[in-house]
Amino acid sequence: MSIKQLHLTLIISLIAILSSQGYLVYEYFQTTKAGLVRESEAIIQEAFRYELDQRHAKYKKIIGEDTITTPPPPPPSSQIESKYNLNKFTKYSDNILGMYDMVINMHVSTVVPLNLQHLDSITANILLKRKIQSEYAIRIVDIETGKSKQTELSSLFLISSKSLIIDAYKHQAIQLVLVNPFAEVVKRMILMLITSISFAMICVFVFIYLQGILARQKQLIIFKNEFLGNIAHELKRPVASLTLNLDCIDSFMNNENNQQYALYIKNAINSTDEMNDTINMIVALTKMEEGLLTLKNESIDLQSLFLDLKNRFLQSTAKEVQINIYTETDNTHLMGDCRLLWQCFANII
């Protein structure tokens, strides 16, 4: 893997890690928000039932149900009667207040109407008991339209409870709204936030550290490639000069018909060619580091390549050596880079 590919992989990994952390924080925020919504529903339900019980007790006192009745009983016309068709309430069967409490409220409200200020103070005590520190408002909303006759709350962040239906005939419901409960949300998410921020900072620090290491390695590779390139360049000039002079001597010796000198000159020329191939190999290695090396795909006869190597080594050595070539098949052709394979097998021999 090249430096550029590794650099790209690190960037993609960092983006993936930070994105996953952001997604987890967002999901936890949604879970915390849903928990606050459910808790606000429980709070408004508890506050309203407590307020309803107090109004119910006051209602009984007004109509005399809390006293012992002595004969003669009051005439029927003095009794307060209310009749309700419960079949009309079936569509409100999922109301969290319950049909029984809703009917009681509708009946009691004819004498003792709902007191929002009193309900507000009860709600404040419940919020304090549950250690929820947030501004809040209690709204009366229309069941059909979902709108409130009160002034609409303008805030960046609101958490509203489910509407609590208190009067099906008047289409009235009450709703608890927490205004800007950022402190409460952060308090419930503090452990998650600390963990996520710490993990994100560690990832960023590691990324910056690796970036520094990669930058230094890249500088070292550039320096090494420049060094090898300079060596190759300096070697090519004397090798080219040596090759030219040997070619001239070879031409002169051929004219003299001196076979022994011609053989030595030929071996010297082959050696300079091999040295030139080695220099080209150095250049190829520098290209390999940058991912710029391209291999030639050409037909190669290994049998001929081995015979050429055998002849060169036997001619160039002063000692008696024996090189044998064994092949298991007559088909010794393959596709590859002849120059690199030649260099490889020459190094082995």
Average pLDDT, the chain: 77
- Output the CA–CA distances (angstroms, integers) from residue 322 to 76, 147, 310, in the order listed: 135, 103, 9
- In a 10 Å sphere around its CB, with 0-12 CB exposed, 13-18 middle and 19+ buried, how is residue 285 labelled? middle
Kindly compute the dihedral angle of the four CA atoms of residues 328, 334, 338, 340, in this order, to the nearest 10 degrees: -80
Overall average pLDDT of the 46-74 stretch: 73
Q: What angle (nearest 5°) sits at the alpha carbon of residue 60, between those of residues 57 and 63?
A: 150
CB-based contact 45:96 (threshold 8 Å): yes
- For residue 44, give the nearest of 143, 119, 109, 115 by alpha carbon: 119
Share of the chain above pLDDT 70, in %: 74
pLDDT band of residue 161 (cuts 50, 70, 90) is: confident
How far apart (Å, rounded) are the C-alpha atoms in residues 116 and 149?
14
Kindly state the DSSP code that residue 340 receives in the 8-state scheme.
H
pLDDT tens track for 191-240: 888 888 888 888 888 888 888 887 888 788 788 778 777 777 767 766 77
pLDDT of the residue at 245 = 67
pLDDT of the residue at 100 = 72
Q: Specify the range with the lowest mean pLDDT, choosing from 52-66, 133-147, 288-302.
A: 288-302
Q: For strand 333-336 and strand 298-301, is the pairing parallel, antiparallel, or unpaired?
A: antiparallel
pLDDT of the residue at 1 = 59
pLDDT of the residue at 78 = 45
pLDDT of the residue at 71 = 47
pLDDT band of residue 70 (cuts 50, 70, 90) is: very low
Share of the chain above pLDDT 90, in %: 1
pLDDT band of residue 6 (cuts 50, 70, 90) is: confident
- Give the length of the chain: 349
Take residue 235 and report the two structure tokens written for it.
Answer: 């070697």
Can you tell me whether residue 282 is helix, strand or coil? helix
What is the model's pTM? Answer: 0.55
Which residue did the predictor score with more confidence, 302 or 296?
302
Q: Is the pLDDT score of 88 beyond 60?
A: no
Q: Is the pLDDT score of 291 beyond 70?
A: no
Take residue 86 and report the two structure tokens written for it.
Answer: 């419960």
**What residue type is assigned to position 293 of the chain?**
L
Can you tell me whether residue 213 is helix, strand or coil? helix
Q: Is the pLDDT score of 303 beyond 80?
A: yes
Overall average pLDDT of the 68-77 stretch: 49
pLDDT of the residue at 82 = 53
Per DSSP (E only), the strands in the chain are 135-142, 158-160, 164-167, 172-179, 298-301, 333-336
pLDDT of the residue at 53 = 87
pLDDT of the residue at 224 = 78
pLDDT of the residue at 77 = 47
